[in-house]
């Protein structure tokens, strides 16, 4: 049995990564998303074990001590981690796996597993990124300001990824992402003229 492929998908907060991943999982066969462990509070509509495994900080710390995580990171004061055993078991069954993680986690995974493909999602513009963050209605103004600053910093890491997709129109971005996963498309960052200037403008 052929081993599955590990896909790392990262993006700044508000770029639409979660929506794209949800659509990919609904439309493509033989692919699963890893469910991360997190210490953050469960948001309305989220389900424990489906969106995240919600755990206390003490439980998370014990898992770190036991080397249970493929990668783990602190984001906006909360901790997130990916179960290494689950990822390896799923890949060994021949199923592709999506890791929806930040650039810090992506760095850790690339160091521990060769052959993975990494994809970075960019928002269509700075104003649109801010509009999306404010439109969530779940964060305070202070948190939104911090997320915007962090998002601009996150964007600076786009060059570390194999593929870059601009989520301007969901259907087009979804098609591009599906092509990368199926091995039929080419969104490699080296073949997108003007990408550096565009990414730089998002950080301004």
User: What is the reported pLDDT for 188?
Assistant: 58
- Tally of CB atoms within 10 A around 135: 9
Residue 182 lies in a domain: yes
Residue 85 lies in a domain: no
User: What is the reported pLDDT for 186?
Assistant: 63
**Ranges assigned E (strand) in 84-182:** 96-100, 117-122, 163-166
Please tell me the pTM assigned to this model. 0.84
Residue 124 lies in a domain: yes
Residue 171 lies in a domain: yes
Give me the domain span that covers residue 126: 6-34+96-202
- φ, ψ (nearest 5 deg) of residue 185: -115, 175
Residue 150 lies in a domain: yes
Domain count, the chain: 1
**Backbone dihedral region for residue 18 (phi beyond 0: left; psi -120 to 50: alpha; all else: beta):** alpha
CA trace torsion 105, 53, 26, 137 (10° rounding)? -80
Kindly give the confidence (pLDDT) of every residue in the chain, 204 residues in length, as a single tens digit, with 9 standing for 90 and above.
689 999 999 999 888 898 999 999 999 999 999 999 999 999 999 999 988 999 999 999 999 999 999 899 888 889 999 999 999 999 999 999 999 988 988 998 999 888 899 999 998 887 777 787 777 666 778 887 888 888 888 999 999 999 999 998 999 999 999 999 998 766 655 556 677 887 887 876
26: domain CATH number is 3.40.50.300
Residue 189 lies in a domain: yes
Helix (H) or strand (E) holding 172: helix 170-182
Residue 66 lies in a domain: no
Helix (H) or strand (E) holding 188: none
User: What is the reported pLDDT for 175?
Assistant: 93
Residue 84 lies in a domain: no
Q: Quick one: 96 exposed, middle or buried, by C-beta within 10 A (0-12, 13-18, 19+)?
A: buried
């Amino acid at each position: 049995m052929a081993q599955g492929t590990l896909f790392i998908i990262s993006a700044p907060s508000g770029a639409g990564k979660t929506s794209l991943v949800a659509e990919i999982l609904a439309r493509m066969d033989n692919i699963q998303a890893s469910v991360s462990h997190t210490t953050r509070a469960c948001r309305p509509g989220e389900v424990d074990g489906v969106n995240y495994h919600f755990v206390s900080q003490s439980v998370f710390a014990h898992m770190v001590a036991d080397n249970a995580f493929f990668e783990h990171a602190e984001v906006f004061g909360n901790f997130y981690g990916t179960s290494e055993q689950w990822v390896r078991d799923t890949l060994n069954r021949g199923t592709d796996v999506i890791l929806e993680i930040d650039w810090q986690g992506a760095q850790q995974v690339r160091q521990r597993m060769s052959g993975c493909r990494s994809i970075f999602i960019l928002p269509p513009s700075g104003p649109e990124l801010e509009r999306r963050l404010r439109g969530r209605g779940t964060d305070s103004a202070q948190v939104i300001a911090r997320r915007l600053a962090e998002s601009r910093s996150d964007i600076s890491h786009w060059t570390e990824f194999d593929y870059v997709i601009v989520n301007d129109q969901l259907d087009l971005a979804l098609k591009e992402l599906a092509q990368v996963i199926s091995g039929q498309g080419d969104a490699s960052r080296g073949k997108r003229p003007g990408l550096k200037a565009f990414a730089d403008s998002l950080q301004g």
